[in-house]
Structure 1
Amino acid sequence: MLMFLFRGASMCMKRHRCPYPFVLMSSPYNKSSLRCHLPLRAINQKESEETEQMPLTALQIRPFTPFPIQISHHTYRTIIKLSSKTLSKPLQIKSKSQETHHDFTPQTRTQEDGIPIEDVKIIAKFKSRHNYIRVLEISRKADHPFAGSRLLLLDAPGNIHSISFLFKSLTNTYFDVFAALPPIIPPGPIAILGFGAGSAARLLLELYPGVVVHGWELDSSVIDVGREYFGLKKLEKQYPDRLFIYVGNALSAKVKDGFSGILVDLFCKGSLIPELQDPNTWEKLRKSLRKGGRIMVNVGGSCVEAEDKRRDGKVVMEDTLKAMHQVFGDRLFVLNLGNRKDDSSLALTGKLPDLDAWKKVLPRSLSCYVDMWRPLSL
């Protein structure tokens, strides 16, 4: 038996988790669960009373119809591990010889279910200066929610850092949660720290005609892969005045007059980067925001599997939230992407907006996330 296991870099997908590590395995699987942890984006803290009362119609959204897809988890005995960023726990791919009577039980498949190995194609695999990069293509015929998609895997754990589908824009991952940010921030540019192959940027540009995106990615090879396999080159040509990509340290990102919003999805070797556990980092990002701006962050969780076993996903997430709390105080909210405490989470800064007004300006497929935000409890 031969199977693949995916873990996503900043995505834990049960209900909407995305980055997951990718692992190649050759043993029977258990009916346990897969997790993926999602990236979170950061934004400003201090908002004036005026901006807090601002209407949520500053930006318009073109409605989409897709609904969130649930992602489950399965554990396998790993034989060979392939690295990538962090989505959640591995997503499994199995050969026909691995099928059991469970596979023939009539039921709706979820992202927790294994993908037949014959439906998975590796179209690129190489090592860059910063990453072990793999691009996978899932057959459109696969009986799986990821059918017809391409996945970008980074780092040794094999986490998924980007995902794109041929015939739809929404990804059913935490990238869609990021796409709900523009209506609750003032007009102005949005920064994506941890650009990947451009999954979040694509949604923002297509959903919000007025949004300008500035993305930072440390690894130029990741940008090259995005242009070659994820349609990033076409996106740049389509939005030459709205999409700007920079190769370099994302924590040095800045533009004149500041950002209206910041999306933070920064992972390295399968873990949130250490700088995010430092309050000084969040103070610096807060100062790079415009008045009324916000930060949304993929903070991961227990589902994140780092190369360094000492970097426990839950501990790193908690330390990151504590560091953010020192800067943003009670204006900090958390969204858990699954039904369990150890699922991946996102964080949002600023005063919680009027939820009903927020939902009204979002397509139904995104409005489901609005009621999932909860005040941070330490």
Structure 2
Amino acid sequence: MAKELVSLQLLPPQFHIPRHFIALSSPSTLNLRPKPPQNPIFIRRATTQSHRHKTSNDDDAIPANEVKTIAKFKSRHNYIRVIEVSRKTEHPLAGSRLLLLDNPGNIHSISFLLKTLTDSYFDVFATLPPIIPPGPIGVLGFGAGSTARLILELYPPEITVHGWEIDPCVIDVGREYFGLSKLERDHKDRIFINIGDALNASVKTGFSGILVDLFSEGSVIEELQDPKVWKSLKSRLRKRGRIMVNVGGRCVEAEDSERDGDLVMEETLKAMSQVFGDKLFVLTLGNGNDSSLALTGDLPDLDAWKKRLPLPELRSFVDMWKPFTKFRLKY
């Protein structure tokens, strides 16, 4: 682990996670409503006022004896925590390992021991490979490797992943606690991790697809509200290449109260629309209180897209894309 680790105080006795973090569905349905890993895990404090996403139902809290803190330290870029949620708890995150970043405790990676899918927007990212040309996929904002794992495990070996992460400590945590080292060994010719500014990401042959998941201090980074940045990213795509983006939403809890999740999402989409025009689509998860994703390019043939997806659970996302011109915020 990096030299910058410092010890911190123990966490309070209970974790509070909003009920709407993941809307569960029965195994026979595909109506998944994932929440984004940026959604905070709230820590219950009796002396503080209710958080804007916090509910009063005690069922949303996970007792301390069902949550294990594995690592906790500060790096140059982040306040990093790794926790495990007991498989015995009655909660959607039961059996998961979570990477928390930023002071609010935003979730940036999710891993389940006994299943591949994450029931989060990472699963939407995993639908990109069938609708892009052959070639490398860039993951900007690599985290502990949740997106890379899905792509490498679900798709054939000709697909490669090139990830960028600004914080080397996050990669250390991924290797130590999220199986990233094993993923690199098992797919040594398919995964390439770069430490540095993701907005400088490039490969000589151009990307067939780019997955953008860039947050800082609990908010979509400011650069993504600049059309020039999207024009630059577009120039690094191969012909018929696409970009899929986590643009956040009201569920995203920023450290700066002026960085409202909905407004930042809207400004990000507007910046993208100046570059991609009517070739921009939006998918909103859940009931409008969850995260949204953006997709560039012409809308693919939906039936063909579904047939090429490796798991039936992913097909429900295909019908959820709407043109940005018809996208409306649900205030």
TM range (shorter): 0.7 to 0.9
Q: Which whole-Å CA distance do the structure 2 matches of 1:2 and 1:128 have between them? A: 24
Corresponding residue of 1:328: 276
Q: Which whole-Å CA distance do the structure 1 matches of 2:189 and 2:36 have between them? A: 29
Displacement of 1:145 after TM fit?
2.2
Corresponding residue of 2:78: 131
1:17 to 27, 35, 41: 35
Matched, 1:119 2:66: yes
Displacement of 1:5 after TM fit?
3.0
Opposite residue 293 of structure 1, the aligned amino acid is G
Corresponding residue of 1:304: 252
Matched, 1:242 2:190: yes
Q: Which whole-Å CA distance do the structure 2 matches of 1:77 and 1:148 have between them? A: 27
Q: Which whole-Å CA distance do the structure 1 matches of 2:35 and 2:188 have between them? A: 30
Q: Which whole-Å CA distance do the structure 1 matches of 2:297 and 2:256 have between them? A: 33
Give secondary structure in 2 for the equivalent of 1:245: strand
Kept in 2: contact 1:262–1:294 (CA 8 A): yes
Where do 5+ consecutive residues of structure 1 fail to align?
Answer: 30-75, 79-87, 104-112
Deviations 1:6-53 (A, max 9, x none): 58xxx9644111312133222399xxxxxxxxxxxxxxxxxxxxxxxx
Q: CA 1:329/1:274 → structure 2, altered by over 3 Å: closer, same or farther?
A: same
Displacement of 1:117 after TM fit?
2.6
Kept in 2: contact 1:12–1:337 (CA 8 A): no
1:254 to 198, 202, 220: 202
Matched, 1:187 2:134: yes
Corresponding residue of 1:59: none
Deviations 1:136-157 (A, max 9, x none): 0011111122111100000112
Deviations 1:277-309 (A, max 9, x none): 000000000000000000000000111111111
- Root-mean-square deviation (CA), in Å? 2.2
Kept in 1: contact 2:40–2:106 (CA 8 A): yes
Give secondary structure in 2 for the equivalent of 1:367: helix
Corresponding residue of 1:356: 303
Alignment of 1:1-378 (within 5 A): 2-6=13-17, 13-14=22-23, 15-19=33-37, 20-27=39-46, 77=50, 99=58, 113-209=60-156, 210-340=158-288, 342-362=289-309, 363-377=311-325
Give secondary structure in 2 for the equivalent of 1:311: coil
Displacement of 1:257 after TM fit?
1.3
Q: CA 1:332/1:117 → structure 2, altered by over 3 Å: closer, same or farther?
A: same
Displacement of 1:167 after TM fit?
1.4
Q: What TM-score, normalized to structure 1?
A: 0.76
Corresponding residue of 1:43: none
Q: CA 1:162/1:13 → structure 2, altered by over 3 Å: closer, same or farther?
A: same
Kept in 2: contact 1:28–1:77 (CA 8 A): no
Kept in 2: contact 1:12–1:300 (CA 8 A): no
Where do 5+ consecutive residues of structure 2 fail to align?
Answer: 1-11, 24-32
Runs of 4+ in 1 over 4 A off after TM superposition: 11-14
Q: Which whole-Å CA distance do the structure 1 matches of 2:139 and 2:149 have between them? A: 11
Opposite residue 305 of structure 1, the aligned amino acid is E
Paired residues in the alignment total 302
- Structure number with greater CO (CA < 8 Å, separation at least 6) is 1
Q: Which whole-Å CA distance do the structure 2 matches of 1:350 and 1:215 have between them? A: 22
Q: Which whole-Å CA distance do the structure 2 matches of 1:89 and 1:173 have between them? A: 18
Corresponding residue of 2:8: none
Kept in 2: contact 1:12–1:89 (CA 8 A): no
Q: CA 1:89/1:151 → structure 2, altered by over 3 Å: closer, same or farther?
A: farther
Q: CA 1:6/1:194 → structure 2, altered by over 3 Å: closer, same or farther?
A: farther
Give secondary structure in 2 for the equivalent of 1:173: coil
Displacement of 1:2 after TM fit?
4.6
Opposite residue 232 of structure 1, the aligned amino acid is L
Deviations 1:136-188 (A, max 9, x none): 00111111221111000001121000000111111010000000000000000
Opposite residue 260 of structure 1, the aligned amino acid is S
Kept in 2: contact 1:333–1:376 (CA 8 A): yes
Of the structure 1 ranges 195-204 and 361-370, higher mean CA displacement relative to structure 2 is found in 361-370
Opposite residue 227 of structure 1, the aligned amino acid is R
Kept in 2: contact 1:26–1:77 (CA 8 A): no
Opposite residue 88 of structure 2, the aligned amino acid is K
